[in-house]
Structure 1
């Protein structure tokens, strides 16, 4: 029946505000209403206006009035409508800022899909494509959230945005554009399908937006690896390092830019990431104001400024405000969508300081696609960008690329190991399968490290498979995907087994007869068909030594000293870096006397 709003949610002292009241006739007949509009600033009345309006059935009319804003404070506007003994009311707020405050707003979207393809190239899930092409945002927009973001950027070309297009997402987009894609259920989408053409359209838009400087594209680890957890708990710094480099390569090759920012998946931070990021030429990341900042150590002000950490810049997001956009996303109607957009900007204006940097960081697709009302969330985003466009022109607020604000005055010496959730239980602990699967994953990692040390070369294909297996999306307790983990861990084991298949071992003698307390030699035949020297650790009882075995046939000898007569099966273990690849059992017949 009635809706009141102002032309902007934020003003400066001395501005004028346009108050608009929309009155609609929802009766099945014509009516005449008495409308009253009032506005106050800090409870001081600025305007009071009454008007009598006749409305035909289904008709809507708009009443508008101007009000001058002499000083800072809270503008409150109210509208009351009476007709036929009925009444309805609505109200809206806006903030009036003093002349000195200027808000810098960094919108950071993490747009990601895990590598949904299987080792054979077929796709287990097609969210990377459906979130581009499917009509998920009807009736506001025909398409998915990724395409919506790209089109919204085009519509509001002066609004600067920061976007992490995750490397695994970009890889899947390029894969589809170049060859189409096939699902494991048999559905095939060719390069000329509407699904693939829309993916190409979204990709081209993001490329052009990055090239002209409107959008700053952050890179990331190739897959969505829980970097801080893997580094702190399992020492997998090498995996993180290579995934960061691979992610940078994808971003460079697909988007055509040299990324300076890095999104830390799940905001899973550990201080060991610092050296990896800086060595790769990256300059900044975004962490959580609620879960990382309180435990940080150093010259701390507020979350509304950047921090230097040994030459690397860390921004802290406003989690409360980010969560408003991310999770308060089930909307009633377009009026609610508009009020939510206003709320976000008004909350941002309350940040401490004269020149606060407010970082809103969240998943770029899920808050839209997983809403019960995705079309209305799209309407909310459109309203938000429309206000941003107006406020930038007025000089009240500026949207920024994070690289423009990476010069920090304060320094931190430590940021705690944790995630955006304040821990890692979502990925280890909440499901009974977690522990079993982490044992398998770490065992697979150790098998790679050991085989590489033995062979003297990197097992790139095995490592590539491991990146996929430890993608956090597959481990997330609410969307657990043991199938995908198993598929990629199986590929790891196959690749390691194949790499070590050229190294075979057998016992020189099946049975050895000896005496108690006599040193006895055990021979192990090694057949090395790898074409290069192999380094092996051989352990038998108390005899443990490292041997370098050249190509061809060799015999390694170990010495044992049986102390008690009897029949024994003595294990002989061939290992590397503590990981056993072969185990042989020497049958030993020990006599007490000759």
Structure 2
């Protein structure tokens, strides 16, 4: 059947080119690619602090038309956790106002107590974040009017070249001057000399460092053994700041001790040691001087573990130290001391991590990957984009074989048998994998797919994942079928669509893996408190959300029982107003972001080090805790340099596998973590958020996003009306088959209804209207996917193909339903002139092969009075009588309504009346006669048919004849749109 439809579609392509290209060219400008305005010039910030404790922040270089929020929090120390003014974890948001004189956005916050650390970043237009130095995790830090016992707090150290770094706390943003001199010792009162050898002081302007909220200066280099003394001068206040730890007039001092030898790197045989284990440490040093004997000491914390004399040649040398880790559990700084002629140079070479597992439960690490691709299939079964195949079989070479990100993930998991993970395979991805395998000769609009290779890769990928499931090492999560942004769809009143997609998703997961998923990946973590009852109805009892968005930044969060002292490291239960409960695992936001943005673009060794050292810190503070890492599964591989990103993934699994063997860590699936841990707290009143801390990426008011949502709303309105007209429920669970993707399953439909999916009407083969009911609901679910609005406009500015794709499906629905509406028409009105009329209808929507009653609400008007009737029309000809007085020869207007209500429609473009949705308006001339059913006119009968007019907010469509090829015109639109997209070189996000 697919071949017949494809042939019909291709046969119409020439017609489509003529009919469709012009409308596409003239589509609204919202479909043109656009980027968010960033303003002209450099984007930067500064600030002022008043004596009363108010902080005023300025942001320059951003377009004046932007909406800018100052996101800020109170910290215990720079780059620390954020708290609100009420002391709760989280942040504050203050709108900034554009000052045309300063050409900057301005906001004032406070007052704050003296010594308060305040951190801030900026949010522009809801989607663009401006962090310090463009670093994803850095913020500006300011200490507000530090008290005098803090001002002058100093750290100083000697660099390998003999320069000295000096940092101090001052009163930002005052200008601080470092007054310093060369002296003969540390005692205050010794004479100072300039670098030129004259008596006096040198002056160096210190730089304020917003990252740490302190002032910094670098002076030198100096000769080994040289003493330097200094004080600070605050230019604004006139203060002279001395070393108050000694006396009110004492100077700061440091001896410039350094040797030509300095440490370059440190490596240990393990990243984490247990108490008592033998430590093997290699330190690489560089000697920039001649061959000479040096005294080398290694110090762990405050304890020296080695002291020996070593002859070091010029250049690089490796020093090996072996000693037992006889230290209490903790993190220890490791120092290398190099002695020469009585002077010792002390430098930090790294840290030593030591754990004690005695009597302590291991840390549970739960990794949750979201594997997702939106639907790239067109309504006629053609592949519009190749990314499912490419990311399964063609991303990179690994061990000499061409593989994709999905296959690589399965291969690496198979190599580490003690590593357990959870993966959400979105049903739309599984659907496309299986559809690709079930197509004998798949058709692609573009190039690049190696069909035989990619089909084999897909088969091997699925086989590996199924093996992992059978071994119990992989828990499969599900998701609403086409990955909709659930919170937005829910708010639109389309909850029944979500439930249908959840059930369809569970069915697909079961079909492929043979398991019933009890866990769900909430797409984009776009959650609200309406979802738990939907999840409960679908048999779902656990999901994963972001800790920062849903706990730290949740002002109305209510703890029903227990407490949140474990932070993200506990198992939680969320309860709705109905008392329904579900488990929620909150991901460690910081660690998940490291996976997303850091770990897959650096050396595998560094990734292993950063990962294990992060986890061991959690273990030391929270033994037995649950650490959840949750993110997209393929993106870290494909959006970072390959094969480096693949090596990083291997390194991650290797590090976790080895750590699991050491006893302080265990990897678990979501269900395993729930089964082995107690609930920390029961929560309610979670906010409506996403991982991005809002929903603006998908609904920020940008015209292209609005256009997509409006098309979804209009298509759904038409489809709900069509369903009501057929007497079918809204939001059905659509039976799907891989052979007929992306349309409803022909075999399942015919088995379910006993009717053929395709019928012949007047010698033309067309889809059964009931079959189209199921197929169009599937199309609507496709258009509700989150990828389309994510890609449309700022901040992601994706390829135009993603903007057009959902609209094609929506317009296909609208086009078909309009044609269906036009097939139900009144063709005559007979009046007896005594208060009764008979209206004859022709129901061309049905046929003998597919008899369908049609349900309508009629309003009949004689110009001065109305009468309404709920009617059911049979196939072909039906007659309806009504009690209304109509004179022969006078006009009668018949209004046809689909019997729908506003709650059924939810967010709708066209408002509905108490009668339902208006689908047709006809004016006919009443004929005198007996009120009985009239036979239908033959094609040669001279009859007057009033034109059917269906009005939408932007278009009036008039039709007098049903086109059986309407849906294939839309297929042609798909083909043309995709050709255009391929030519402009689109790529998946």
So what's the TM-score if we normalise by structure 1? 0.83
Q: Deviations over 1:553-578 (max 9, x none)?
A: 2334567899xxxx999672422314
Correspondence for 1:400: 668
Correspondence for 1:183: 444
Call closer, same or farther: CA 1:582–1:8 in 2, change over 3 Å: same
Correspondence for 2:570: 305
Contact map agreement 2:600 2:649 (CA 8 A) in 1: no
Q: Does 1:70 align with 2:330?
A: no
Shift of residue 500, structure 1, vs aligned partner: 5.2
Q: Does 1:315 align with 2:635?
A: no
Correspondence for 1:582: 919
Please give the alpha-carbon distance, in whole angstroms, between the structure 2 residues aligned to 1:332 and 1:88: 29
Call closer, same or farther: CA 1:466–1:93 in 2, change over 3 Å: farther
Shift of residue 119, structure 1, vs aligned partner: 1.2
Call closer, same or farther: CA 1:120–1:34 in 2, change over 3 Å: farther
Q: Does 1:4 align with 2:266?
A: yes
Call closer, same or farther: CA 1:550–1:343 in 2, change over 3 Å: same
Matches within 5 A, 1:206-221: 206-221=465-480
Q: Does 1:470 align with 2:784?
A: yes
Tell me how large the CA RMSD over aligned residues is.
3.9
Shift of residue 214, structure 1, vs aligned partner: 1.4
Q: Does 1:443 align with 2:714?
A: yes
Please give the alpha-carbon distance, in whole angstroms, between the structure 1 residues aligned to 2:396 and 2:492: 40
Matches within 5 A, 1:347-426: 348-349=618-619, 353-371=622-640, 373-407=641-675, 408-409=678-679, 410-426=681-697
Higher deviation after alignment, 354-363 or 92-101: 92-101
- Structure 2: unaligned runs, 5 residues or longer: 1-262, 340-344, 575-579, 733-772, 901-911, 927-989
Correspondence for 2:493: 235
Correspondence for 2:387: 127
Q: Deviations over 1:253-277 (max 9, x none)?
A: 2123222221111112233322332
SS at match of 1:3: strand
Call closer, same or farther: CA 1:401–1:442 in 2, change over 3 Å: same
Q: Does 1:270 align with 2:528?
A: yes
Call closer, same or farther: CA 1:554–1:347 in 2, change over 3 Å: farther
Shift of residue 124, structure 1, vs aligned partner: 1.9
Contact map agreement 2:396 2:642 (CA 8 A) in 1: yes
Q: Deviations over 1:189-244 (max 9, x none)?
A: 43xx222222222221111111101111111121111112101x211111111111
Call closer, same or farther: CA 1:135–1:265 in 2, change over 3 Å: closer
Correspondence for 1:538: 858
Matches within 5 A, 1:550-589: 550-556=874-880, 572-577=895-900, 578=912, 580=917, 582-586=919-923
Correspondence for 1:114: 374
- Which of 198, 202, 213 is the equivalent residue of 2:461? 202
Call closer, same or farther: CA 1:63–1:186 in 2, change over 3 Å: same
Contact map agreement 1:137 1:143 (CA 8 A) in 2: yes
Shift of residue 370, structure 1, vs aligned partner: 0.9
Call closer, same or farther: CA 1:556–1:333 in 2, change over 3 Å: same
Call closer, same or farther: CA 1:236–1:212 in 2, change over 3 Å: same
Call closer, same or farther: CA 1:7–1:500 in 2, change over 3 Å: farther
Shift of residue 289, structure 1, vs aligned partner: 0.7
Please give the alpha-carbon distance, in whole angstroms, between the structure 1 residues aligned to 2:326 and 2:386: 52
Please give the alpha-carbon distance, in whole angstroms, between the structure 2 residues aligned to 1:71 and 1:234: 57
Shift of residue 280, structure 1, vs aligned partner: 2.6
SS at match of 1:292: helix
Correspondence for 1:505: 825
Contact map agreement 1:506 1:584 (CA 8 A) in 2: no
Correspondence for 1:527: 843
Please give the alpha-carbon distance, in whole angstroms, between the structure 1 residues aligned to 2:713 and 2:293: 72
Higher deviation after alignment, 16-25 or 203-212: 16-25
Please give the alpha-carbon distance, in whole angstroms, between the structure 1 residues aligned to 2:377 and 2:351: 49
Correspondence for 2:365: 105
Shift of residue 168, structure 1, vs aligned partner: 1.3
Contact map agreement 1:270 1:416 (CA 8 A) in 2: yes
Call closer, same or farther: CA 1:470–1:2 in 2, change over 3 Å: same
Shift of residue 312, structure 1, vs aligned partner: 2.1
SS at match of 1:285: strand
Correspondence for 1:223: 482
Contact map agreement 1:8 1:94 (CA 8 A) in 2: no
Higher deviation after alignment, 252-261 or 171-180: 171-180
Call closer, same or farther: CA 1:226–1:332 in 2, change over 3 Å: closer
Greater share of residues in helix: 1
Correspondence for 1:149: 409
SS at match of 1:120: coil
Please give the alpha-carbon distance, in whole angstroms, between the structure 2 residues aligned to 1:470 and 1:104: 36
Shift of residue 414, structure 1, vs aligned partner: 3.6
Q: Does 1:432 align with 2:732?
A: no
Shift of residue 8, structure 1, vs aligned partner: 3.5
Higher deviation after alignment, 323-332 or 13-22: 13-22
Higher deviation after alignment, 519-528 or 169-178: 519-528
Correspondence for 1:251: 509
Please give the alpha-carbon distance, in whole angstroms, between the structure 2 residues aligned to 1:140 and 1:382: 16
Higher deviation after alignment, 266-275 or 45-54: 45-54
Shift of residue 468, structure 1, vs aligned partner: 1.2
Contact map agreement 1:9 1:345 (CA 8 A) in 2: no
Contact map agreement 2:362 2:663 (CA 8 A) in 1: yes
Shift of residue 109, structure 1, vs aligned partner: 0.7
Contact map agreement 2:364 2:626 (CA 8 A) in 1: yes
Correspondence for 1:489: 810
Contact map agreement 1:573 1:584 (CA 8 A) in 2: yes
Correspondence for 1:325: 595
Contact map agreement 2:389 2:449 (CA 8 A) in 1: no
Call closer, same or farther: CA 1:33–1:45 in 2, change over 3 Å: closer
So what's the TM-score if we normalise by structure 2? 0.52
Call closer, same or farther: CA 1:88–1:286 in 2, change over 3 Å: same
Call closer, same or farther: CA 1:17–1:229 in 2, change over 3 Å: farther
Contact map agreement 2:271 2:609 (CA 8 A) in 1: no
SS at match of 1:70: coil
Please give the alpha-carbon distance, in whole angstroms, between the structure 1 residues aligned to 2:501 and 2:308: 64
Shift of residue 164, structure 1, vs aligned partner: 1.1
Correspondence for 1:592: none
Please give the alpha-carbon distance, in whole angstroms, between the structure 2 residues aligned to 1:525 and 1:505: 5
SS at match of 1:426: helix
Shift of residue 182, structure 1, vs aligned partner: 3.0
Contact map agreement 1:136 1:144 (CA 8 A) in 2: yes
Call closer, same or farther: CA 1:529–1:368 in 2, change over 3 Å: closer
Q: Does 1:165 align with 2:425?
A: yes
Q: Deviations over 1:85-114 (max 9, x none)?
A: xx9988333433454353111011111111
Corresponding pairs, count:
566
SS at match of 1:452: helix
Call closer, same or farther: CA 1:332–1:460 in 2, change over 3 Å: same
Contact map agreement 1:170 1:254 (CA 8 A) in 2: yes
- Structure 1: unaligned runs, 5 residues or longer: 590-594
